Structure 1
Amino acid sequence: MKNIVIGSGPAGRLASLQLGKLDEEVILIEKNHIAGTCLNEGCMVICALTDITKFIDSNNRFNNHGFIKSQLDISYKKIVEKIIETQEKLRELNQMENELVGNTIIYGEASIEGDSVKVNNESYNYDNLLIATGARPFIPDVKGSEYGLTNKDILKIDDVPEKLNIIGGGIIACEIANIYSTLGSEVNVIARSKFLKEIGENAKKYVLKHILQDISIYEDTEVSEISKDRVITDKNEELEGTPFFATGRTPNSEIAEGFVELNQDKTIKVNEMMQTNRSNVYAAGDVTGGWQLTPVARMEGITAARNMAGYPNKVSYSCIPQTLSLNMEVSFVEDENSTCNDEDKSTIGIPGIAGPHSFWNILTGDTGYTEVEFDAKNNKINRINEISPSSPSDVAYLSYLMREGYNLDDYGDFLEVHPSTDSNYKIIKNMWL
C-alpha cells in the first residue's frame, strides 16, 4: 500500500481526500467514527446546540419587545436524538466522499509495526504513513476528577444540569457556558488565570455584559477538589453544581511513542512539511499540538498529503482566524508576526450596526462591537476583534488579506454587501482611509 492514514478527523480525512484526488493509493483507518472530534464530539455539536440557544435568545428578545408571545418547551433529550441522527447522515456523506476518489476505509484500532500498520489482525505495508489521531480532553490531576464531564459527555447526559461548574477559562469553556446558561443552567466558570485571554479586553467586556451576563466568573482560581455535585476551590469556596472540564486537550500520540520523535508535551514533532524524523512518516492535526482548530488541521492534512504524493509544500500559520460560537458570534485574528511598536499602534472601536440577525438588537443596545488595531507606520492591520452575526465570514476574509500582506490603501475599492452587520469596512474605509 502506497499511503496509509491513521485517523479520519479533519486532518486525516482531508489528507486522504487530497491523496485520492491525486490518484494515490490510500487506506484510511478509523478507530471510531469518521470525521473525528469535530463532527462527533466537538465543533458540530457546539454549533448544533448554539443554533438552539440563538433561537431561545431571539424568542426571549421578541417576547420582551411585545410583538410575539410564546413560551418554549425545550426537550434536551430530543435535541440530542436529532443531533445524533444528523451526525449519522454526515458520516455517510464523509465516507462516500472518500470512497468516490478510490480510497479504502477500514474501521478498527491501528498499531504501527515498523514499515507496516496492523488493524483487525491484518498487516498492511506502506510507502508513506500519516498519523492523524487527534487529541482528547485533558483532565487535570485533581481529587475527584473522575466525576467531571467533558465535551465527550454532552450527548450522553439525560438533561440540562440545574447547576454547572465549568473548569477552564478558554474558548471551549465560554461556549459551553453560553449553551447551558441559555438552556437554563446556573453556571459558574472557574478559570485558573484570566477568562477569555484570546480576545481583546474591550471585546471581553462586551461578552460579559451582553452575552454571558447571567454567568458567574471566578478568575485566578484553582480547583482543589471536586465531587459529583460540587467543586471546592483553592480559596475554600464550595460551588454547587455538576463539574465540567474544559481544560485543554492532550494528544493521542501513544501509537507513535518509540517510533517517531515526540515533543516534551507528547505531541508529535513535525517540520513545515508535516514530516516527522522519519522521512516517510508524517503527522497532522491536534496530535501535533499548536493551533487545535479544524481549519488548521485540514490545512496540515492537505500539506502532508501533497508532500506524500511528491508535491513539496510547506504549512504557514500566520494570521489564523478564530471564532467563539455564542448567541452572537465573536471572531478575531491577530498578526503575530507584526513588528509594530506601541507608539505606532492606533485602535478604532465602534458598536455593531443593524443588519440581518441584529436589527432588533438596536432597541436594547446590544448590536455587537468591532475593534481594529492598525499599524500606522506600515499602514496595515494588526488585529481585529468583531462581535456580530457576520463576524465569522468577515474575519476569515480579512485574515486572508492580512496574511497576504495587503496595504490598507488596497481596501479602498472594497465593496461591501448590504445589508450586513460588518463594521470592519466602516472602520477601515470610512474612519481610517
Structure 2
Amino acid sequence: MENIVIGSGPAGRLGSMQLGKLGKEVTLIEKNHIAGTCLNEGCMVICALTDITKFIDSNNKFNNYGFIKSQIEISYEKIVEKIVETQKMLRELNQMENESVGNTIIYGEASIDGQTVNVNGESFEYENLLIATGARPFIPDIKGSEYGLTNKDILKIDKIPEKLNVIGGGIIACEIANIYSTLGSEVNVLARSTFLKEIGENAKSYILKKIIPNVNIIENTNVSEAFKDKVLTDDGKELEGVPFFATGRTPNSEIAQDIVELNSDRTIKVDEMMKTSVENIYAAGDVTGGYQLTPVARMEGITAARNMAGYANKVSYNCIPQTLSLNMEASFVKNEKSECPDDDKATIGIPGIAGPGSFWNILVGETGYTEVEFDSKNNKINRIDSISPSSTSDVAYLSYLMRMDYDLDDYGDFLEVHPSTDSNYKIIKNMWL
C-alpha cells in the first residue's frame, strides 16, 4: 500500500483527497464516522444550533418592534433529529467525494505495528502514513467528573437543561453558553482564569453586554466537585445546574505513543512539513496540538499529503483568523510576527454598520463593534477584533492581507460587495488610507 491515512476528520479527509488528486494510492481508515469531530460532534453541531438561536434572537427583536407577533415553541428532540439526518447526508457526500479520486475507505479501529497498519483483522504495509486521529474533550480530574457533559453529548441529551454550569473560559464555553441561554437555560460560566482572553477587552465587553447578557460569568474560579445537577467551587459555593465541561481538548495520540516522538502534552511532534520523528510517518490536525481549528487542520493535512507525494511543502501559522459562533459572530486575528513598537501602534474602534443582518439592530444600538490595531509607521494591520454579522468574511479577507504582509495602500483598489464587505471599506479605505 502506497499511502495510509488514519482518521477522516478535516486533516485526514483533505489529506487523503489531496493524495488521490495527485494520483497516489490511498487507503483512508476511520474508526467511527467520516468527517470527524467537526461534522459529527463539533463545530457543525454548534453552527446548526446557533442558526436556531439566531432565529430566536431575531424573532424576539421583531416582536419587540411590534411588526411581527409570534410565539416560538422549541422541540430540542426535533432539532437533534434533524441535525442527525443532515449529518447522515453530509457523510454520504464526504465519502463519495473521497472515493471519487480513487481512494479506498475502511471503517474500523486501526493500530500501528512498525511498517504495518492493522484494522479489522487485516494488515496493510505502507510507504507513507498520515496520522490524523484528532482529539477528544479534556475532562479535569475532579470528583464527580463522570456527571459532566461535553460537546460529544449535545446530541444525546433529550431536553434543554433548566440550569447549566459551563466549566471553561474559552471559545467553546462561550458558544455553549450562548446556545443554551438563548434556548432558555439559566447559564453560569466558570472560568479558571479570565473569560475569553483570546480577544480584546472592548470586544469582550460587547459580547457580555449585548450578546450574552443573561449569562452569569464567574472568573478565577475552579470547580472542586461535580454532581448530576450542581457543582461545588473551590471557595465552597454551590451552584445548581448540569455541569458541562468546555475545558479544552486532549490528543488521540495513543495509537502512536510508542512509534513517534510526542510533545510534553502528548500531542504528536511534527516539523513544518508535518513530518514526525519517523521518516515516512506524518501527522496533522488536532492530534498535533496548536490551533485546533478546521481550516488549520485542512491546511496541515494538505501540507502533509503534498510532502508524502514528493512535493515539498511547508505550513505557516501566522495570522490565523478565528471566530465565535454566536447570535452575532465575533471574529478576530492577530499578527504574531509583528515587531511594531508601542509608539507606532494606532488603534481605532468603531461601532458596527448596517450590513447583511444588521439593519434591524440599529434601532437598539446593537450593530456590533470593530477594533483594529495598526502599525502606523509601516502602514499595516497588527490585530482585528470584529463583531458583526459579516465579521467571518471580513476578517478572513483582512487576515489574508496581513498574512501576505501587504501595505494598506495595496488595498486601495478593493471593490466591496455591498453590503456584505462594507466593513472592509469603512475600516481600511475611509478610516485609514
Bucket of the pairwise TM-score, normalised by the shorter protein = over 0.9
Paired position in structure 2 for 1:134? 134
Q: For 1:366 and 1:390, locate their aligned partners in 2 and report how far apart those are by CA, in whole Å.
A: 14
> 1:63-118: per-residue Cα shift (whole Å, max 9, x none)?
00000000001100000000000000000000000111100000000000100100
Paired position in structure 2 for 1:55? 55
Q: For 2:343 and 2:233, locate their aligned partners in 1 and report how far apart those are by CA, in whole Å.
A: 41
Q: For 2:239 and 2:9, locate their aligned partners in 1 and report how far apart those are by CA, in whole Å.
A: 36
Map residues 368-383 of structure 1 onto 2, 5 A cutoff: 368-383=368-383
Map residues 287-302 of structure 1 onto 2, 5 A cutoff: 287-302=287-302
Q: Which runs of 5+ in 1 are unaligned?
A: none
Given that residues 27 and 104 in structure 1 are in contact (C-alpha distance below 8 angstroms), is that contact kept between their aligned partners in structure 2? Answer: yes
Letter in 1 for 2:161: P
Map residues 118-197 of structure 1 onto 2, 5 A cutoff: 118-197=118-197
Q: For 1:184 and 1:407, locate their aligned partners in 2 and report how far apart those are by CA, in whole Å.
A: 47
Paired position in structure 2 for 1:310? 310
Map residues 2-17 of structure 1 onto 2, 5 A cutoff: 2-17=2-17
Q: Which runs of 5+ in 2 are unaligned?
A: none
Paired position in structure 2 for 1:34? 34
Map residues 193-204 of structure 1 onto 2, 5 A cutoff: 193-204=193-204
Given that residues 285 and 298 in structure 2 are in contact (C-alpha distance below 8 angstroms), is that contact kept between their aligned partners in structure 1? Answer: yes
Letter in 1 for 2:96: M
| Alignment of 1:256 onto 2:256 | yes
> 1:372-414: per-residue Cα shift (whole Å, max 9, x none)?
1001111100001110111111111110111001001112112
Letter in 1 for 2:392: P
Letter in 1 for 2:188: N
Shift of 1:421: 6.4
The 3 A distance-change label for structure 1 pair 204 and 188 is: same
Given that residues 393 and 421 in structure 2 are in contact (C-alpha distance below 8 angstroms), is that contact kept between their aligned partners in structure 1? Answer: no
Shift of 1:420: 3.4
Q: For 2:369 and 2:105, locate their aligned partners in 1 and report how far apart those are by CA, in whole Å.
A: 46
Q: For 1:361 and 1:221, locate their aligned partners in 2 and report how far apart those are by CA, in whole Å.
A: 34
Paired position in structure 2 for 1:234? 234
Q: For 2:92 and 2:139, locate their aligned partners in 1 and report how far apart those are by CA, in whole Å.
A: 32
> 1:129-160: per-residue Cα shift (whole Å, max 9, x none)?
00000000000011110100000000000000
| Alignment of 1:349 onto 2:329 | no
Q: For 1:301 and 1:325, locate their aligned partners in 2 and report how far apart those are by CA, in whole Å.
A: 24
SS at match of 2:431: helix
SS at match of 2:418: coil
TM-score normalised by length of structure 1: 0.99
Q: Displaced runs of 4+ in structure 1, greater than 6 A?
A: none
Given that residues 354 and 420 in structure 1 are in contact (C-alpha distance below 8 angstroms), is that contact kept between their aligned partners in structure 2? Answer: no
* Deviates further, 418-427 or 365-374: 418-427
| Alignment of 1:392 onto 2:392 | yes
Q: For 2:187 and 2:87, locate their aligned partners in 1 and report how far apart those are by CA, in whole Å.
A: 28
Q: For 2:154 and 2:39, locate their aligned partners in 1 and report how far apart those are by CA, in whole Å.
A: 13
Shift of 1:422: 3.9
Identity %: 82
Shift of 1:237: 1.0
Shift of 1:430: 1.0
RMSD: 0.7
Letter in 1 for 2:320: I
Q: How many residues end up aligned between the 2 structures? A: 433
Given that residues 358 and 421 in structure 1 are in contact (C-alpha distance below 8 angstroms), is that contact kept between their aligned partners in structure 2? Answer: no
